[in-house]
Amino acid sequence: MAKAASKTKKDNIEEVAQSQVNTTEEADEILQVSIEQKLKALYSLQQIDTQIDKIRIIRGELPLEVEDLEDEIAGLETRIEKYVLETEELNQAIEEKKNTMVDSQALIKKYEEQQMNVRNNREYDSITKELEYQNLEIQLCEKRIKEYNFKLDAIKQDIEKSQAFLDERKNDLDIKKSELTDIVAETEKDEKELLEKSQENQKVIEERLLTAYHRIRKNARNGLAVVQIERDACGGCFNKIPPQHQLDIRMHKKIIVCEYCGRILVDSGIVDEVNAE
């Protein structure tokens, strides 16, 4: 892993170094733009790209929040649908038990009439058992109906709670969608303006140097390819920069990268000039 990191840093250094060497035709064109101008353009480009990154991050979080809310709402709606289905099944079960009770009551009446006309003790005992069975059936149905009604009350409360929470989340979703619409409308305009500025800065940077910038930016933490020297250290990896390198950076005679992380280094003079523009 250390070898791979070292190779990446070496590639960055070599790629930036190679950007200073070009064909004769390109060299004539590059001479018209000083190293200082390129450094200013690179630092400006970095600041612009950082702003674009922030816009995209902000815009990128809201859609995820909206998506999470939509998933949560879908889950709540599914839960309520299951509650409703369970309610229907319980009501149906209650009706079945009531019908069973009606049937049992009809049988009890029938058996009671038969009991008045029995011819022997065996018939009497048999009818008596049937009467006991039907009475037990009625008692069991009454017990089941009470249980089902108890479940129905509990489900009703769950539906009310879930519905209230669902309404709350739907309101949150409407707010988030409104925020997203506003931010997208606002940031799209800002992003377009920043992209135009980015293109302007890229015009004064030759292709190889620009390619190196994009490569470093892609591999660097937080997308920082161009950093300022801060307290004699690289503003990206915070490793100390040798005094001779600091002097070379302040001279603006060549583009210098951090020997540890491969980022392009600029001094406070470049930063102040870019900020003053």
pLDDT at res. 56: 80
Q: What is the mean pLDDT of residues 13-25?
A: 48
Q: Which of 31-40, 114-123, 136-145, 225-234 has the least mean pLDDT? A: 31-40
- 37-58: per-residue pLDDT in tens? 889 899 999 998 888 888 888 7
Helix-helix angle 207-219:35-115, to 10 degrees: 40
Q: What is the bridge-based pairing of β-strands 264-266 and 233-234? A: unpaired
Overall pTM surpassing 0.75 (yes/no) = no
**For the chain, how are helix, strand and coil distributed in percent, rounded to 5?**
80, 5, 15
- 161-220: per-residue pLDDT in tens? 999 999 999 999 999 998 888 888 777 778 888 888 888 888 878 888 889 999 998 888
Q: What is the mean pLDDT of residues 93-114?
A: 94
Asked if pLDDT for residue 75 goes beyond 70, the answer is yes
Q: Which of 14-18, 77-81, 129-133, 210-214 has the least mean pLDDT? A: 14-18
| pLDDT mean across residues, the chain | 85
pLDDT at res. 28: 40
pLDDT at res. 162: 95
Calculate the alpha carbon distances from 171 to 122, 163, 174, 185 in Å. Answer: 73, 12, 5, 21
Between 104 and 20, the more confident residue is 104
Residue for token pair 């009454």: 142
Q: Which of 20-29, 56-65, 239-248 has the highest mean pLDDT?
A: 239-248
Beta bridge partners of 248: none
Q: What is the mean pLDDT of residues 9-21?
A: 52
Secondary structure element (H or E) that encloses residue 260, with its range: none
Asked if pLDDT for residue 149 goes beyond 80, the answer is yes
Angle CA 115–144–96, to nearest 5: 75
State the Cα–Cα distance between residues 93 and 115, nearest whole angstrom: 32
Asked if pLDDT for residue 115 goes beyond 80, the answer is yes
Helix (H, G, I), strand (E, B) or coil at 225: coil
